[in-house]
Every structure is written in structure tokens, then in C-alpha cells.
Amino acid sequence: QKEVEQDPGPLSVPEGAIVSLNCTYSNSAFQYFMWYRQYSRKGPELLMYTYSSGNKEDGRFTAQVDKSSKYISLFIRDSQPSDSATYLCAITGFQKLVFGTGTRLLVSP
């Protein structure tokens, strides 16, 4: 079983839609949860970071963590074509950072 599972997509939505991206993880020892965004032909960049269960909001982005279910989500409100990218969840703890395979998101105008 992979430590982090993420649906690879692609996920295609129209501009303005609410997007939900999800990951599940297997090891309850993981404590910190991140979302990275990767544009085509670029390196990943940190989008959001949280360490507790619940929601964290930053503009149009909301990260949600449910430690009891080992489930994390990233919501994007009012999605824009510029949000088209691959979104990778990353989970860390005990000197180890594990990435999901990434979900490719396409937002059409």
C-alpha cells in the first residue's frame, strides 16, 4: 500500500467552478500536510501548509485535514484558467516527506 494515494486525474472543470482535490494517507504518525502546485515544465511550489485537523483558508484556497479518516483535501473556489496545473499533496513527519502522485487540473475559460 502506498503511503499517500492521490487520484491522478485529469480533472477538467469550467472557469468559476469549485474544485476539490483529495489525498488519503496510511500512516497516522504523519503530522504535517502540504499542498504543492506544479505548472508544466516547472518545479513544485508550496501552496498551503497545515498541521492540525480542520480547515485553513488562504484566499480562494482552503486546505482541510481529517486525521481520523487520514484524508486531506484542497478546495479551490472560483477556479481560474491560471489554476491549471498539477497539484501534489505532501505529508511529512519523522524526517520524511512523502508526495502524492499529483492531480492534473484543467480549468477551461
E strands, the chain, in order: 4-6, 11-14, 19-25, 32-38, 45-50, 54-58, 61-66, 71-76, 85-93, 96-99, 103-108
Question: Minimum CB separation from another protein for residue 26, in Å?
Answer: 15
Q: Which is nearer to another protein, 49 or 61 (CB)?
A: 49
Site residues (CB under 8 A) for another protein, limited to 24-63: 32, 41-46, 49, 51
By CB under 8 A, residue 93 contacts another protein: yes
Q: Which stretch binds another protein (CB under 8 A): 18-26, 55-63, 74-82, 100-108?
A: 100-108
Give min distance, CB of 71 to another protein, in A: 19
Contact 102, 86 (CB under 8 A): yes
Does 79 bind another protein (CB under 8 A)? Our answer is: no
1 counts as binding another protein under rule CB under 8 A: no
Residues in Cβ contact with 93 at an 8 Å cutoff, skipping those fewer than 6 apart: 27, 29, 30, 31, 32
